[in-house]
Each structure stands twice: as structure tokens, then as C-alpha cells.
């Protein structure tokens, strides 16, 4: 990792030690000698479920409800939203927040066009009242626990309860929360959820996404991407699609094996630490950063675009600063990696596994320095 401080783990985490050795092991000892037989002999075919269960541990999901089919978050969300609409065939609306990640908005619009429904785009503040007013006409609500810009939190339990009270299927996008926050999918009775493998989960550039299907929905959920790996008997090669039992029906085609191996490798240290520890450490780092910034440069706290209360924000903090891209660049030159969302937002993320308090102290000093100079 060199001398860099990685405060952008909400975008792409750095590789976990030993990744190349692990990939080399799979290539040299499994792929090379066994070739196609390795799918059966080396557990490759089970890996979408094995990795899914490991992610499930971090999400508060019991085994058998999460699968990593090998798709992007965007395709996985498409799969989930169409499935949610099919569970509510007679309802004309899809609800989503205006501040949702762009791909989520685009996918919602496309699903609506495809299925003859309409998207209701609401501000975060208007989201709950939209559920109340239009709930009986809404098929599904697409919602995220963490605002990807400001880090502001939306509590999963109460929102899911409001969805259920109106008969709405809840589809959560956990991309900015998994691996850093307690999510408690089972306890919160979430219906469907998706998320990225490459952010705090650290699976590497373009790591595949995951899909959670609550056990109670698995027998009825009808996913549109019905590829042969989701078939009850894929190797029978029969002409008719019969979905597999359980979450295996959410698999699509031959998964990107080496990417799954990399994601699995990255999950080891996260599941060993456990989400409770990861979350506690993230909160401590995040509060410590703000305290250090305040000490160096008290007025900078006025530029905080995130809630000041750690209970109300996710794993990162954001600041409103003029010329955000330039600030990102200058900090990178000083060994501190953060990310900017031009024109005026920077985000600073505290991945609990590889960011230390000493690094945070150093980063806060550089941050204050760069911003003081550009005043």
C-alpha cells in the first residue's frame, strides 16, 4: 500500500495481503491441472453460495439467502426490481429517492418502461409521506441505508416496516453500507437487497455484486435473468426453465471464478473481525477525524455536508469545498487518497480494516492544510 492513506474504501478498497498468492494457487493447482473438472472437483460451482454466505454474515443474513451470481450491481438491481414488480403485479408505481445512486435511478426508469409502470422520484424528506399517500399503488421501493454523497443514514427497520404496512416490496441497495455498518437484514425483515463487492468489501475492481432474497420469498420470487445456472438441474440441459430451490435460482450463468476467488479472499479478514467490531472501529475513526479537523481548523467543520452525529451517518463523511477535484489531487500528492464528486463535494471514508487512528490524524492535518491554503 506504500505510504498512502486510503480514505476512499467506499469507492475501491486496496487489495488484501496474499491475494496474488491465492490467485496463483487457484490457477496453478486447480485450473491448470483439472481444467473443466475443477468446476466440480474444487468447489467452484458452490462458490457463488459460499461467498454469498460469507457476505450474509456481514449483513445479518442467515445462510442460504445471499448469492453472488457474477453480475454487476446494476444488473443485479435490475433482476431484483423486476422480481419485486412481479410480486406485486397490479401496482403501477415504483418509488425511489431523488438522491439515489444514478444507476439505481436509471434501472428503475428502465424497469418501469419495460413493465408499463411509472417511477415516483421523491426527495429523502418526502419518501415516508409518499409511502403513506401512494403506498397501496406502489409495487416496490428502492432505497439505500447510506446516502452515497452525504453519508446520511436511513434506518432500515422503520423504513422496511413502513413498506410492509403498505404492502410494498422493499429493495435495499447496500453498496455503501456493507462491511462497515450493522444492517441486520433478517431482523429487519428486508425483502430483497443488492450491493457491490468492491467497496468496503474489498473484492477488487469490478468485483461481482450480491443479491439477498429473504427465505420467505424464495419459493415465489420470479427473477427475470433466468440463466442456466439458476436452473434446478443445470446439467440436464433441458429446454424448459425450472428454477432451483432456494437462493440458487438467483444465479445466472457461468460466474467469473477468479473474481469470486478474490472477493472470497477479501472477505476472510472482515468476517473474522465481525461486523460489530468493524462498525465500532469505523465510528471511532470517523469521529476522531472530525475532532482532529476541528482542532486544526475549527471553521472547517462548518463545511461538513454529513450529519455531525455519528449515529446518523454511514461509513464516510463529506465536505462541501470549492474546487473539489483540485483538493482531491492535492491531497493525493500528500499521500492522502480521498474522492471528489465535482463540483464541490469530497468524501472521506474510514474502512475499519486497514485505516489507523494515526493515519487519520495525519490525514486531518493535511486536509486542514490544503483547505487553509485554498481559502
Ligand X SMILES: *Cc1c(COP(=O)(O)O)cnc(C)c1O
Residues that bind ligand X (CB under 6 A): 72-74, 101, 103-104, 144, 148, 173, 175-176, 196, 209
β-sheet bridge partners, residue 341? 345
Q: Give 26 or 174: the residue with its C-beta nearer to ligand X.
A: 174
- Name the minimum Å distance from CB 308 to ligand X: 23
Q: Give 75 or 297: the residue with its C-beta nearer to ligand X.
A: 75
- Name the minimum Å distance from CB 120 to ligand X: 18
Q: Give 206 or 307: the residue with its C-beta nearer to ligand X.
A: 206
For residue 272, what are the contacts with CB-CB under 8 A and spacing of at least 6? none
- Name the minimum Å distance from CB 34 to ligand X: 31
Q: Give 105 or 115: the residue with its C-beta nearer to ligand X.
A: 105
Burial of 134 (0-12, 13-18, 19+ CB in 10 A): middle
- Name the minimum Å distance from CB 90 to ligand X: 28
Q: Give 75 or 218: the residue with its C-beta nearer to ligand X.
A: 75
Strands 316-320 and 93-97: unpaired
Distance CA 271, CA 22 (A): 18
Closest CA to 187 of 277, 4, 349, 62: 62
216 to 63, 65, 122: CA distances (angstroms) = 13, 10, 29
Q: Where are the alpha helices (DSSP H) in 242-274?
A: 257-273
- Name the minimum Å distance from CB 123 to ligand X: 17
CB 249 within 8 A of CB 223: yes
Q: Give 74 or 252: the residue with its C-beta nearer to ligand X.
A: 74
Distance CA 50, CA 53 (A): 5
- Name the minimum Å distance from CB 207 to ligand X: 9
| Residue 85: all three cell numbers together | 414488480
Amino acid at each position: 500500500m506504500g505510504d498512502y492513506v486510503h480514505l476512499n474504501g467506499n469507492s475501491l478498497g486496496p487489495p488484501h495481503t496474499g491475494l496474488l498468492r491465492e490467485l496463483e494457487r487457484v490457477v496453478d493447482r486447480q485450473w491448470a491441472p483439472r481444467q473443466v473438472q475443477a468446476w466440480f472437483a474444487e468447489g467452484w460451482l458452490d462458490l457463488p453460495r459460499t461467498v454469498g454466505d460469507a457476505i450474509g454474515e456481514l449483513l445479518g443474513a442467515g445462510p442460504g439467502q445471499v448469492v453472488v451470481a457474477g453480475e454487476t450491481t446494476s444488473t443485479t438491481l435490475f433482476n431484483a426490481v423486476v422480481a419485486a414488480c412481479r410480486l406485486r403485479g397490479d401496482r403501477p408505481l415504483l418509488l425511489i429517492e431523488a438522491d439515489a445512486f444514478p444507476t439505481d435511478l436509471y434501472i428503475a426508469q428502465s424497469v418501469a418502461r419495460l413493465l408499463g409502470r411509472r417511477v415516483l422520484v421523491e426527495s429523502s424528506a418526502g419518501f415516508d409521506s409518499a409511502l403513506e399517500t401512494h403506498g397501496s399503488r406502489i409495487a416496490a421501493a428502492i432505497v439505500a441505508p447510506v446516502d452515497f454523497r452525504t453519508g446520511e443514514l436511513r434506518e432500515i427497520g422503520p423504513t422496511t416496516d413502513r413498506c410492509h404496512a403498505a404492502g410494498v416490496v422493499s429493495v435495499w441497495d447496500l453498496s455503501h453500507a456493507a462491511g462497515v455498518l450493522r444492517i441486520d437484514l433478517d431482523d429487519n425483515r428486508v425483502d430483497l437487497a443488492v450491493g457491490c463487492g468492491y467497496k468496503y468489501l474489498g473484492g477488487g475492481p469490478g468485483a461481482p455484486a450480491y443479491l439477498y432474497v429473504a427465505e420467505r420469498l424464495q419459493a415465489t420470487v420470479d427473477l427475470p435473468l433466468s440463466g442456466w445456472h439458476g436452473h434446478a438441474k443445470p446439467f440436464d440441459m433441458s429446454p424448459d426453465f425450472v428454477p432451483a430451490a432456494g437462493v440458487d435460482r438467483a444465479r445466472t450463468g457461468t460466474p467469473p471464478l477468479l473474481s469470486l476467488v478474490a472477493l472470497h479472499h477479501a472477505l476472510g479478514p472482515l468476517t473474522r473481525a465481525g461486523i460489530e467490531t468493524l462498525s465500532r472501529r469505523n465510528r471511532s475513526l470517523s469521529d476522531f477525524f472530525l475532532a482532529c479537523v476541528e482542532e486544526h481548523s475549527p471553521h472547517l467543520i462548518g463545511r461538513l455536508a454529513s450529519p455531525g452525529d455519528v449515529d446518523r451517518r454511514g461509513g464516510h463523511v463529506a465536505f462541501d469545498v470549492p474546487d473539489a477535484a483540485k483538493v482531491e489531487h492535492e491531497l493525493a500528492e500528500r499521500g492522502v487518497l480521498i474522492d471528489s464528486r465535482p463540483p464541490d463535494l469530497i468524501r472521506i471514508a474510514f474502512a475499519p480494516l486497514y485505516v489507523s487512528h494515526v493515519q487519520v490524524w495525519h490525514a486531518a492535518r493535511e486536509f486542514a492544510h490544503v483547505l487553509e491554503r485554498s481559502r
